[in-house]
Chains A and B, each alone.
Chain A
Amino acid sequence: MSNYFYVAPEQLIKDRAEFAQKGIARGRSIVAAIFDVGVVLVAENPSASLYKISEIYDRIAFAGVGKYNEFDRLREAGIRWADGTGYTYSREDVDARALANYYAQHLGDMFTEGQKPLEVEILVAQLGNKFRPTKLYRIAYEGTISDEENFAVLGGDAETIKGRFAALEVGHLSLADTLKNAVTALAGPERELPVGDLEVGVLEDRGDRRTFARLSDEQIAGLLT
């Protein structure tokens, strides 16, 4: 017979939260911001093939920090959910808020009932149109969902980066200015981020149904000069 020791729920949650936070803090951060005509997502990511930012649907993008395999599985589930919903109903019925809620439920379940909480923090961004607003939903490891105004920062050093970005970004600027501010905020005062270490995704209307675009190193360099 095995022995179970009593652990107070407060202690259990504290331990789990610490565990998840430690995992997330190891990763580098992401800044997502609304600019004058779209949404830009900027990640510090030295890998050119293991992406942190990706397309979910026509007007929805995804970003994740923490353990790659865990947030990548969430990304795949999001694409399946969006394509499945659009196929069953209509493309117009695919809404970022519904997806963010499903993510929040899943992360919440894993936090309280899973073997271990997921060591991830994710963001669902939606580019608005006549029917829906432009939105940034941040979902934390324990399932807390927050509707961020203007910009959101994910990752270990979020509070510091948030402060730096808020000081620079006043109102909705152009893509180039917002990107510059995001990179400055991510880098901090002591270092400079090379273009090769940046991953940038943009949601913007270009006349196509699909609004997501991944920027190349040349495009990023062009916007930063």
Chain B
Amino acid sequence: MGLPLFDAQSDPGPSFVRFAEMAGLTLPPAPSEHSAHATTVAAVRYADGVVMVGDRQATSYYVANRDVRKIEPADRYTALAISGSAARGIEFIRLAQLSFEHYEKMSDSALSLEGKANYLSPLIQRNNLTSALVVLPLLAGWDLAHQCGRIFEYDGAGGCYERHDFAVIGSGSPFADSTLRLGYRADMNRDDALALAALAIYEAADNDPSTGGPDFVRSIFPMIVTLTSEGFRELDQDVAASTFRSINDRRSESGGVAGGTLR
């Protein structure tokens, strides 16, 4: 690639995607038969931010991968989770990360959280309308201007919706969503929100074969991420291990039944 110079009329501005299209760096996504997919990721808002928990399994006709990272930092204050096609999803995260950084460098100021959320809409639309492999992301971040954690979910056509309580993506959504609906309270503290989000993933993994639960044999546990005024933070796998072990122990004691109370 030579030096990409544009005249004032055709200048793509600070958008990396528009530039990449003009420079021919991106190819239109082509349909493919094989795709690893299925996932459950839950995001829960609490008093000081957002906690996100995501399973680690990639599934095609069989388990394709057991330690996939489905939640990635999009930048210092934002996390992006993906569900759907793994191949398109990874590309989606890469493009989003690069776009936010590109914007920041080009215009010497970071995009607002809402700006980042809106920027993803046409990307989803373009991907899902031109490709057989659908990607649905979930965006959560710490809003520096408004000093609060915020969650944005999307529909398949690229529609962007802010959620003030919690949001779920992936094939295990019905089970995770039910768990969150029963257990959610406004202004929870971090530990309660974390325990609830982890329980939602546990329920999803218990009922959806395409969602991976805690793997005590290989010591692979769902990813736990928090977004607070300190930014994106991934919790140690030790924390995830003890969180899921305690859910598991309670569930064995009750003979596999959640049993009326949320346990």
Contacts and interface: CB of A to CB of B under 8 A. Distances in A.
Interface of A: 51, 54-56, 73, 76-81, 83-88, 102-103, 105-106, 210
Contacts of A78: 3
A88 B25 CA distance: 7
B253 interface: no
Given A51-B108, A54-B108, A83 B102 contact: yes
Contacts of A54: 105, 108
B105 A77 contact: no
Given A84-B23, A88-B25, A77 B1 contact: no
B94 A80 contact: no
Contacts of B16: 83, 87
For chain B, which range describes its interface: under 10, 10 to 19, 20 to 34, or 35 or more residues? Answer: 10 to 19
A77 B94 contact: no
B98 A81 contact: no
A77 B108 CA distance: 15
Interface majority SS (helix, strand, loop, mixed), chain A: helix
Question: Nearest 8 pairs between A and B by C-beta?
Answer: A102-B3, A80-B4, A77-B5, A79-B105, A83-B102, A77-B3, A106-B3, A55-B105
B19 interface: yes
A79 B102 contact: yes
Given A54-B105, A79-B102, A84-B25, A102 B2 contact: yes
Interface of B: 1-5, 16, 19-20, 23, 25, 94-95, 98, 101-102, 105-106, 108
A10 B95 CA distance: 49
A81 B25 contact: no
Nearest to A76: B106
B19 A84 contact: yes
Label chain B's interface by main secondary structure.
helix
B19 A80 contact: yes
Contacts of B1: 81, 84-85, 88
B105 to A, nearest CB: 5
A77 B95 CA distance: 19
9 contacts: A55-B105, A80-B4, A80-B102, A83-B102, A83-B105, A87-B20, A87-B25, A87-B94, A102-B3
Nearest to A51: B108
Contacts of B20: 84, 87
Contacts of A51: 108
Given A76-B106, A80-B19, A87-B25, 12 more contacts: A77-B5, A79-B102, A79-B106, A80-B102, A81-B1, A83-B19, A83-B98, A87-B16, A87-B94, A88-B1, A105-B3, A106-B5
A79 B15 CA distance: 12
Contact of A87 (B2, B3, B4, B98): B98
| Interface hub of A56, A73, A76, A105 (most chain B Cβ within 10 A) | A76
A85 B95 CA distance: 13
Nearest to A58: B101
Nearest to A79: B105
A103 B3 contact: yes
A76 B23 CA distance: 14
B3 A81 contact: yes
Nearest to B12: A80
Nearest to B99: A83
A79 B20 CA distance: 12
A80 B2 CA distance: 10
